[in-house]
Amino acid sequence: MTRTGDTDLTAQSTSDAHAEAVAAATATAGVQGLLFDDDLRPMPEDVGFRGPTACAAAGITYRQLDYWARTGLVSPSVRPATGSGTQRLYGFRDVLLLKVIKRLLDAGISLQQIRTAIAHLSKRGFDDLTQITLMSDGASVYMCTSPDEVIDLLAGGQGVFGIALGGVWREVEGSLSELPTERADGHDEGDSDGHTGDELAARRRARMTG
């Protein structure tokens, strides 16, 4: 927030400084890819990825994956482990959240703050997720749902770094296009007519060719 001064000159100076800060913040947000507006589509909800695949796409260890599942941070939504020999299957949203957690941890955000942020994100629909940018000052995490909110935080110095979920979505989609998928009924996706892996690969090629 800006504070008005006692004179018109001070007010003008404050206004100019704020305008410059907003312009700089807008440029920074654009360069960092925080103003994300790509059209992204969700994957089928009955298609999942085994633990090692989820780890590879999110850039985490299996130990982290297992701990976060046991503590309820991110649980496999397609098929939970229900007994000996049961393979957990993580949905696309699960992998997306795992990737976001990894990014926040790398930035030094506490696990407590991350749990709060992930709890809010888990309640959002797919369309909402692609429009969210997480901003942080290193201590707190802010959830921005519009470009103006991102720019205001950057201009106010509260946004040390940001994560556009649309950008993370695109990264995860690209990683998963190279990895095996499995349907909730236990069949490999290649045995069905869905071919989710092929669909992901096609999306990736389309983006690369423009």
Distance CA 130, CA 115 (A): 19
Distance CA 78, CA 183 (A): 8
pLDDT at 19: 58
Q: Collapse the DSSP code of 123 into the 3-class scheme (helix H, G, I; strand E, B; otherwise coil) and give the result.
A: coil
- Whether residue 193 is predicted with pLDDT greater than 60 in this model: the reply is no
**pLDDT higher at 105 or 124:** 105
Please tell us whether the domain made up of 43-184 is placed in CATH 1.10.1660.10.
Answer: yes
Mean pLDDT value across residues 35-42:
62
Mean pLDDT value across residues 141-167:
81
Distance CA 175, CA 57 (A): 5
Mean pLDDT value across residues 174-193:
70
Distance CA 156, CA 154 (A): 5
Per-residue confidence at 76, pLDDT binned at 50, 70, 90?
very high
- Per domain, the residue ranges of the chain are 43-184
Lowest mean pLDDT among 120-124, 155-159, 190-194: 190-194
- pTM of the predicted model as reported, rounded to 2 decimal places: 0.72
Average pLDDT, the chain: 75
Mean pLDDT value across residues 2-18:
42
Who contacts 155 (Cβ-Cβ below 8 Å, separation ≥6)? 18, 21, 22, 24, 25
**pLDDT higher at 7 or 117:** 117
Mean pLDDT value across residues 68-97:
87
